[in-house]
Structure 1
Amino acid sequence: MKVTAVETIACDAGWRNYFFLKLSTDAGIAGWSEYDEGFGSPGVTGVIEQLKHRLIGQDVYATEKFFQLASCLTRPAAGGVIGQAIGCLENALLDAKAKALGVPCYELLGGKVRDKVKVYWSHCPTWRINHPKFYQPAVTDLDGVKATAEEARKRGFKGLKTNLFIHDEGDAYAWRAGFAVPFMPELTVDKRLIRNIRSHLEALRDGAGPDMGLLIDFNFNAKPEGLIRILRELADFDLFWAEIDLGSAKALADVRRHSPHPISSCETLIGMRSFLPYFEQQAMDVAIVDAIWNGLSQSMKIAALADAHEVNVAPHNFYGDLCTMMNTHFAAAAPNLHIMEVDVDRLPWESELYSHSPVFEDGYLLVPDRPGWGTEPNEEAIRARPPKVTGGLLQYKRS
């Protein structure tokens, strides 16, 4: 079975765009994958357009061969948007291969070790604060934060992850200094920010109850000394984990040594060599792997490397529902899975874009047994919603 064409399609996703890749074959089977240009990755589509010429005419089954070829061709500028483009193409090959064999994608990753995947509600209530036009009910204050956490508990979720917010200036708004909102490249932390973080977490705990796992994502929003200050001030909270992005494995390891809470990290890394220093430095308790960026086959290698260092993994997953279905196969097959991220708040038209949506049951995501990813993008519905904005980090700003 040979690749005959590769096409990228973007569609409107409210405050951002969704990006899809369709890989056609001479057997009439289409392999699909989803990728992203909104999380600091503009230009992935352009790289795909260049790489696809080395894939067309090649054997669909030779996924590792393509990865190695593409890696050689791009070696001087490995990683980044190039790594993401390679991962996207590899994921589409995996879907096409699984469909041709009539099996779910997890069968090509060694088979599943679990029938359902424990998940946490991510961006809770972040999307309802940042993008109330698309995610209802809107949250503007601490009462709304508490109500969303109560909803998560009632819907059976055992964990929720939130972000940093300011509540003492009227309507709540996100603190995202690491992403230039506000533009503050020094990334310092003051007492006011810490007070707001505490107020936010207190509202979540009040609504969610004592048994809910609370996760907080610091992203790139502070330097190590500021992170240590915050974590010490949060010592009395029972946090599931504190999620941190730092470019230095040694610096992150130092933060971990000072933290009263488990540390997760590495969601922006691509390739085993990027992860290796963090494992060697024992920099985190949980390694977050973006299987959409890395490709699922390569992500299984990263998971194996983590396992060799006695570290569990968690998929990074904040894109569309196709990505959730893709990550489910990685989560089903990786023996050292800790928990999986999911965005429970979805667009009103999300379900129109796919033949099957993710199915949740008492805080778990059920692993599908249909061929490929277990869902098929609705090409007509996707094309009916052309992209409208640049989207993502480049578009977002506090009004």
Structure 2
Amino acid sequence: MKIVSLETFSVAPRWLFLAVRTDEGITGWGEPVVEGRSATVATAVEELSDHLLGQDPFRIEDHWQVMTRGGFYRGGPVLSSAVAGIDQALWDIKGKALGVPVHELLGGAVRDRVRTYSWIAGDEPDRVADHARERMQEGFDAVKMNGTGRVRALESKAELDLLVGRVAAVREAIGDRADIAIDFHGRVSPALAREACRLLEPLHPLFVEEPIVPELTADFGRICASTTVPIATGERLYSRWDFRDVLGSGIAVAQPDLSHAGGISEVRRIAAMAEAHGVSLAPHCPLGPIAFAASLQIDFACPNALIQETSLGIHYNTGSDLLDYLVDASVFDFHDSHVDRLTGPGLGIEVDEAAVRRAAEIGQRWRNPLWRNEDGSLAEW
């Protein structure tokens, strides 16, 4: 079997899909994207195709090594995301050719279903309690919310009271048996993160996600030591080397993204490293159905998988949602906040290529918001 073509599709709301085709008629699907930079990643995929065309798709690890190490300049979100989507597609091809789901190729399933959580509210959180109740009625028992909108490096008591009040309203709405994860989106300073986490302790968040930007990774040790709230991070870490120091800092949850951190091959390695540090795995996935399927394959194979993010109904999904590009969306049926083990070959999904092509004719040009503080300076989004 040989790879004969790679084709990318830019589709709403902010996704990039990849079809890797073989001379035996098997197509593997991947999702290589940096949100807001999808055209740049598509170009990186095209450049990497020079190595892949005519090659055996089964040699996944060798291709991964060549794509990541074969160039003098390495790393970064664009290259690692291009590699991630290609890697997903190659695993999809191999699973389809052998008639087994990818998790069987990773050692077999370690669980029969995976717990998921759903997003509530938006970038600047509002009506969080009402939205949380809606998610509980839909069958979820865990939700994630942004803790704040734009914030300063050090904040007033009033702003901190708003943060705690929002989370307290959700806790009251969903009770003590359901879970709340709080995303800080890298918006707060290390000092503010320590203060905010201490104030949130009585509300028992499942975790606080990405309290600081990845450039400040060295501060995770102090943040983790200052609070009993479990700390999660990793959506903007792109390799096992990026995770190496973070895993020993005291974080509780590693969150590599299957479309950013080198795909299934690299995230499986990151998961094993996390396990050796007593750190749980919760793959980051506010993306489309291919990335979600790849994440689930990892979850089914990794003993330390804790919970899986789903983008169903997330505030970014305007124009299309998680299930819109699948022939059979029932493979992702959510019940009791869980998704059952995928049993189909490869990634376990069938992409509706006709729907993808129709959407790609329109395309997308999503850009993340640019925020400014009251004094006009740039704020972290």
Task: Look up the match of 2:224.
Answer: 256
Query: Is the 8 Å Cα contact of residues 102 and 297 (structure 2) preserved in structure 1?
Result: yes
**Does 2:322 match 1:339?**
no
Match of 1:222 among 171, 177, 188: 188
Distance (Å, rounded) in 2 between the aligned partners of 1:295 and 1:10: 19
Distance (Å, rounded) in 1 between the aligned partners of 2:195 and 2:276: 32
Shift of 1:40: 6.4
Match of 2:326 among 343, 350, 354: 354
> CA-to-partner distance for each residue in 1:256-307, whole Å, 9 max, x for gaps?
1111311111221111111111123x23111112122221011111111111
Match of 2:179 among 213, 216, 230: 213
**Does 2:377 match 1:365?**
no
Shift of 1:42: 6.1
> CA-to-partner distance for each residue in 1:43-78, whole Å, 9 max, x for gaps?
211111101111010101000000111122234232
**Which amino acid in structure 1 is aligned with residue 284 of structure 2?**
H
Query: Is the 8 Å Cα contact of residues 41 and 80 (structure 1) preserved in structure 2?
Result: no
Shift of 1:80: 1.9
Shift of 1:232: 2.0
Shift of 1:229: 1.5
Root-mean-square deviation (Å): 2.2
Structure 1 residues 269-288: aligned runs within 5 Å: 269-280=237-248, 282-288=249-255
1:393 is paired with a residue whose SS is: coil
**Which amino acid in structure 2 is aligned with residue 193 of structure 1?**
E
Structure 1 residues 297-308: aligned runs within 5 Å: 297-308=265-276
Shift of 1:372: 1.2
Query: Is the 8 Å Cα contact of residues 3 and 25 (structure 1) preserved in structure 2?
Result: yes
**Does 2:132 match 1:149?**
yes
Give the stretch that moved more between structures: 381-390 or 316-325.
381-390
Distance (Å, rounded) in 2 between the aligned partners of 1:30 and 1:209: 45
Distance (Å, rounded) in 1 between the aligned partners of 2:372 and 2:312: 23
Query: Is the 8 Å Cα contact of residues 119 and 340 (structure 1) preserved in structure 2?
Result: yes
> CA-to-partner distance for each residue in 1:179-217, whole Å, 9 max, x for gaps?
xxxxxxx64433332122122112211221222111101
Task: Look up the match of 1:138.
Answer: none
Q: TM-score, normalised by structure 1?
A: 0.85
Distance (Å, rounded) in 1 between the aligned partners of 2:180 and 2:230: 11
Distance (Å, rounded) in 2 between the aligned partners of 1:261 and 1:146: 21
Query: Is the 8 Å Cα contact of residues 292 and 327 (structure 1) preserved in structure 2?
Result: no
Query: Is the 8 Å Cα contact of residues 109 and 297 (structure 1) preserved in structure 2?
Result: no
**Does 2:262 match 1:290?**
no
**Does 2:81 match 1:84?**
yes
> CA-to-partner distance for each residue in 1:27-48, whole Å, 9 max, x for gaps?
0000001132316676211111
Match of 2:288 among 320, 326, 331: 320
Distance (Å, rounded) in 1 between the aligned partners of 2:76 and 2:20: 22
Query: Is the 8 Å Cα contact of residues 356 and 374 (structure 1) preserved in structure 2?
Result: no
Q: TM-score, normalised by structure 2?
A: 0.89
**Which amino acid in structure 1 is aligned with residue 199 of structure 2?**
E
Structure 1 gap ranges (5+) = 131-140, 166-174, 178-185
Change (3 A) 1:262 1:76: same
1:45 is paired with a residue whose SS is: helix
Change (3 A) 1:188 1:395: closer
Distance (Å, rounded) in 2 between the aligned partners of 1:176 and 1:22: 38
Match of 2:147 among 164, 167, 174: 164
Query: Is the 8 Å Cα contact of residues 32 and 86 (structure 2) preserved in structure 1?
Result: no
Shift of 1:234: 2.0
